Chain A
Amino acid sequence: MATTREHLTEKTADQSTERYRSLWSDVWRQFRRHKGAMVGLVMLLVIMFGSFIGPLIYPLDPFAIDTSQASLSPSLDHPMGTDNLGRDVMARVMVGGRISLSVGIAAMIVGVVIGTAVGILSGFFTKLDGILMRGTDMFLALPILPLLLVIIMLFRDPLREAFGPELGIFILVVSIIGITSWMQTARVVRGDVLALKEKEFVLAARSIGSRKRNVVFRHIFPNVLSPVMVAAALGVAIAIITESALSFLGLGFPSDFPTWGRLLFDAQSYITLTPMRVLWPGILISLTVISVNFIGDGLRDALDPKLRSQ
């Protein structure tokens, strides 16, 4: 009963708003139909709220050392227990989430901007295509994880001296993850641009004498936004996993500036004493990545005009 009524109200709502339907409201309507994506979106919003607003509400200090309270199991005072120095794990997980999510989003932006730029340049300007695609192929053949570890090892100290311990490592991790994760975006965008630039509307724009720059920004770029958005969603997931992996290997963020990966690394040594400490950051990394991947799936469906018209 309830479902039919909902269905009816949705239908009437559709009809009344039909005149004002824009592209993005269409996309949003299609996105809402994807159950996994909606669950993912809600879950991601909850995690983001907990990480960015949570530390302001939560009373315990993530850095307050109290050895008399060391290695406690979860209790009412410490919902996720305490670590080996008596710091509250929940407070640390919240602060860690703030850094992990910021790194993920910032690195994704770097990667997507580079990828889109390389993709558009190499798709639109035939002269640049050869060299840019050779470069992309070479980046794809680089052993990313070993190289990331080496680069962090080499540049950690100079950057920490130049920008301070926290900002230095943040800049380093974000830029190297961004620089090593743009290749798929570039390939997809290039493919789309190659097809788009032969379309009639581009020809029309050119024939009325639009400058190349305007053709790219007004006509080509808005049309490659869909693959770019999907790549952006998946890019966040990849960046969070990469950062966690680096921190987990002990070559990412330091313990006094923890991310979820670093918390996992620190907890690993106490796995027999306080096994729950390992689970919290791990569960949050996994939930975030799962949500982001589902959102990416939903976006892909919602942005596909063939699926949307059904």
Chain B
Amino acid sequence: MGRYIIRRTLFAIPTLIVISFVIFAILDLAPGDPTASLPLTIPPEVREKIREALGFNDPFLVSWLKWLYQMMIVEPINLIEQMFDITIGDSENRVRIISWSSKAPVVDTIIERIPQTLWVLGLAFIFGIMIAIPVGVISAYKQYSAFDNVGTFVTMVGYSVPTFFTGLLAIVVFSVWLGWFPSFYDTTHEVSLTDWSSITFQIKQMIMPVAVLALFNAAALSRFTRSSMLDNLNEDYVRTARSKGLGENKVVIGHVLRNSLIPVVTLIALQIPGVFAGAIITEQIFRINGLGQLLIGAIQGADVPMVQTLTFLFAVLIVVFNLIADIMYGLLDPRIRYD
């Protein structure tokens, strides 16, 4: 197992390098110009110097390697410095990835936006799991009952209907017609624990985005939980447990659910990057000032470094969570032996 983990982890590194190359190559075709947003009074020679300083005129391979160095070495060192408030080496002269539109380091802007995204996504993800697993378990245990039929149909619908429609539908019903919740998310709103009204406002504005995403996540997960439970319910060990005289609750929760959760937990890990990608759409619907909106803004403003960094971070999420899922599968299921 240990060797397998090491091999998989080492294999993730070339994958990421290839992906970074693909992302960089696609974006290298962009017609963007880092000096486009500067005042027109700057003479052309100075403009050329600025381009030179930003490395805009470097050949493709050089600028890719430079970016890779910044992404993999400079920015992580900088993060560690900021976290522990220490200085490592010559931190003044290290060149960080700078946004073309805001002229601020890209990673700092991303860190500013992470909390908004994480709050909504994280809650939606947790609620989604909390809904999906009980629904899946009951559906499977009472297969073909009314609950199962309704549940299967609802999850099929929930899994087919895209969030950009359920989100807009929720806005139409709950904020336009009923007026219960605000139609967009106000990220400037500050929550203070002493002020009750600020807390209720925060909860109110979070309900719709969280609910929409949670239901979407729950749909796929509960279908999967149901089929995994069904696979296990007819196994011999279940009959053995029952014939020993174990209570039905113990059989279902202690034996069947425990075994059924192995693939479900893996799927949860695999879903996480997809949830981040889905956030691009949800944030657009509810105007949440998070990572997704940052990406859309950067794409429309042709802010190449920002787009490169964000896209690469999405790729890192996918590779890392695939790795986690693989390793967890091996750790949780003793029947699987990799070596």
- Give chain A residues whose Cβ lies under 8 Å from the Cβ of B300: 153, 250
Q: Are A279 and B295 in contact (CB under 8 A)?
A: no
0/1 string, A261-291, CB within 8 A of B gives 1: 1001000100110010011001101100110
Count of interface residues, chain A, beta-carbon cutoff 8 Å: 40
Which one of B57-65, B155-163, B248-256 is at the A interface?
B155-163
Q: Are B19 and A285 in contact (CB under 8 A)?
A: no
Chain A interface mostly helix, strand, loop or mixed?
Answer: helix
Taking a contact as CB atoms closer than 8 A, the residue among A143, A151, A268 that contacts B315 in the complex is: A143
- Give chain A residues whose Cβ lies under 8 Å from the Cβ of B172: 271, 275, 278-279
Taking a contact as CB atoms closer than 8 A, the residue among A141, A150, A154, A268 that contacts B15 in the complex is: A141
Q: Are B162 and A285 in contact (CB under 8 A)?
A: yes
Q: Are B162 and A143 in contact (CB under 8 A)?
A: no
Taking a contact as CB atoms closer than 8 A, the residue among B29, B159, B161, B310 that contacts A146 in the complex is: B310
Q: Are B299 and A248 in contact (CB under 8 A)?
A: no
Instruction: Give the number of A-B contacts (CB < 8 Å).
Output: 115
Q: Are B165 and A282 in contact (CB under 8 A)?
A: yes
Q: Are B15 and A271 in contact (CB under 8 A)?
A: no
A294 and chain B: residue at smallest CB distance: B156
- Give chain A residues whose Cβ lies under 8 Å from the Cβ of B161: 286, 289-290
B29 and chain A: residue at smallest CB distance: A154
Which one of A61-69, A99-107, A237-245 is at the B interface?
A237-245
Count of interface residues, chain B, beta-carbon cutoff 8 Å: 45
Q: Are B164 and A143 in contact (CB under 8 A)?
A: no
- Give chain B residues whose Cβ lies under 8 Å from the Cβ of A237: 160
Taking a contact as CB atoms closer than 8 A, the residue among A140, A241, A272 that contacts B162 in the complex is: A241
Whether B307 is near chain A, meaning CB under 8 Å from some CB there, is yes
- Known contacts A142-B315, A146-B310, A147-B23: does B30 contact A154 (CB below 8 Å)? yes
Shortest CB-to-CB span from A292 to chain B, Å, is 8
Q: Are B162 and A244 in contact (CB under 8 A)?
A: yes
- Taking A282-B168, A285-B162, A286-B162 as known contacts, 13 extra A-B pairs with beta carbons closer than 8 A to each other, sorted by chain A number, are A138-B18, A140-B318, A141-B315, A142-B315, A143-B314, A145-B280, A146-B295, A153-B302, A154-B26, A245-B162, A245-B164, A261-B164, A289-B161
Residues in chain B within 8 A of chain A (CB atoms): 15, 18-19, 22-23, 26-27, 29-31, 156-157, 159-162, 164-165, 168-169, 171-172, 176-177, 183, 273, 277, 280-281, 284-285, 295-296, 299-300, 302, 307, 310-311, 314-315, 317-319, 322
